[in-house]
Amino acid sequence: MKLKMTTLALGAVMAASPVMADLVFPSLSYRTGPYAAGGIPFADGYADYFTLVNERDGGIGGVKARVVECETGYNTEKGVECYESTKGEGALIYQPLSTGITYQLIPKVTADGIPLHTMGYGRTSAANGEVFSNVFNYPANYWDGASGIINYLLEANDGDLSGKKVSLLFHNSAYGKEPIRTLEELSKKHGFTLSTLPVDHPGQEQKSQWLQIRRDRPDFVIMWGWGVMNQVAVQEAANIRFPMDKFIGVWWSGAEHDVMPAGEKADGYKAVTFHGVGRDFPVFDDIQTHVVDKGLAAGAGDQIGNVLYNRGMYAAMLAVEAAKTAQELHGTAEITPAMMRDGMEALEMPEARMSALGMPLFGPAFNVSCENHGGPGLVGMTQWDASAKEWTLISDFAPSDREVIQPLIEADSLAYASENNIEPGC
């Protein structure tokens, strides 16, 4: 009896003492299926950064971060299931790495009060924070990418694209169709002719599209691809001898595995980006020391510095910084999803902060606000060097054409607000 009472008393004391719960960051990853080659390095980079923060800094504000991984297979239904099954764990933020899943989650996260961060993908008009209170797509969105490509072409052609022919080769999905409207507006503004060439999932067979490109002889080809579509497109471009330096992909078509299968023939291919490339940043030394060398890496540790690993790591870093901002704002280390949302909305990422994190000039400096959840839309251009087998940043991060993009964001977001009875405001 005495022992029982002692045990009960001890249990009561333990239950009453303050236990710091983990900060939960679900990772809706895809390590299997046709898009795994892109999903794995992103998921590894995402997980490794949280491990680094735990190992090096003791967590975020003293509270350990916990990554809950759920396999979506890049399948929208599975993505929604993953959301439903993980949100109960106290999820602070979702980054589903899929435009299809994003579209399904927007109403759900808004109702549940959990923030959604879709960095460089998802619904572009979510940049309007007055309508999409819980959705963020900083530091750049698809339309910034499309505009960044056209700006780069303008610069390379003495500011004049009139009379030029531009073909858009796109994944025939909600994701692939995102840039069309922007490119149409830009073609009117700059006088180039735009033709669109859809490629059906998964994109293994593109002979028709490339025969048409060979017949039309466009001056430039822009690609909005993902998965096997990218590798096949680069190979087909090489086959018809389309000049690689006139072939530019969005950031989801610009990773190492997109160009490696084509070998030397992929040399010179370009892709727009919103973050740094390579592993020449101090943060990677920290990841090597505190994560990989300790055997804690999510993968084999051989993806560090690869484009999509860097992007996953960058996404995690922005989540950690938003969590820190939320902790400061609310004066507590144990933040809720609503507090996390506030942290994201108040996020400031000046260059000094990036440098302090071991990521100098890794991405553009930016601030988030209630009105602008999309950041400044600064994008740069990268180019593939096949002999060195590496991507190189060949331009500075430059602004996109806000004159064209902002009205499109306004129109699309207000249409969404009207359809969903949302009163825009901050």
Partner 1 sequence: MPLREDSSVPEQLVFAMEVTLNGLMAGVLYALVALGFVLIYKASGIFNYAQGVMALFAAMTLVGIMNGQVPFAHLINAIFGGHVTHFGWTVPSFVAIVLTIGVMVLLAWMVQHFVMRHLVGQEPIILFMATIGLAYLLEGVADLMWGSEIKTLDVGLPQGINLWIDETTFQIFDYGFFIDNLDIVATIIAALLVAGLVAFAQYTKQGRAMRAVADDHQAALSVGISLSFIWVLVWSVAGFVALVAGIMWGTKSGVQFSLSLIALKALPVLMLGGFTSIPGAIVGGLIIGVGEKLFEFLIGPMVGGATENWFAYVLALLFLVFRPQGLFGEKIIERV
Write out the residues near partner 1 by the rule CB under 8 A.
Answer: 31-37, 40, 172, 196-202, 204-205, 207-209, 211-212, 214-215, 217, 227-228, 231-232, 235, 238-241, 257, 260-261, 263, 265, 295, 300-302
Shortest Å, Cβ 37 to partner 1: 5
* The residue type at 329: L
* The residue type at 166: V
* Residues 267/385, Cβ–Cβ less than 8 Å: yes
Nearer to partner 1, 35 or 391 (CB): 35
Shortest Å, Cβ 291 to partner 1: 14
Q: How many residues does the chain have?
A: 426
Nearest CA to 335 out of 350, 315, 321 is that of 321
Nearer to partner 1, 240 or 370 (CB): 240
Shortest Å, Cβ 396 to partner 1: 31
Nearer to partner 1, 64 or 257 (CB): 257
Nearest CA to 79 out of 56, 108, 100, 106 is that of 100
Q: Give the torsion sign (CA, 62, 86, 108, 100).
A: positive
CA distance 128 to 415: 12
The structure tokens listed for 226 are 């993902």
Shortest Å, Cβ 116 to partner 1: 26
DSSP 8-state secondary structure symbol assigned to residue 422: -
Taking every pair of Cα atoms in the chain, the longest distance, rounded to a whole number of angstroms, is 92
Nearer to partner 1, 191 or 263 (CB): 263
Burial class of residue 236 in the structure, from the number of CB atoms within 10 Å of its CB (0-12 exposed, 13-18 middle, 19+ buried): buried
Shortest Å, Cβ 38 to partner 1: 9
Nearer to partner 1, 211 or 394 (CB): 211
Nearer to partner 1, 199 or 339 (CB): 199
Shortest Å, Cβ 168 to partner 1: 11
* The residue type at 359: M
* Residues 178/118, Cβ–Cβ less than 8 Å: no
Nearest CA to 375 out of 126, 194, 172, 24 is that of 126
* Residues 225/259, Cβ–Cβ less than 8 Å: no
Shortest Å, Cβ 208 to partner 1: 4
The structure tokens listed for 131 are 């309508």
Shortest Å, Cβ 316 to partner 1: 20
Nearer to partner 1, 158 or 264 (CB): 264
Nearer to partner 1, 174 or 260 (CB): 260
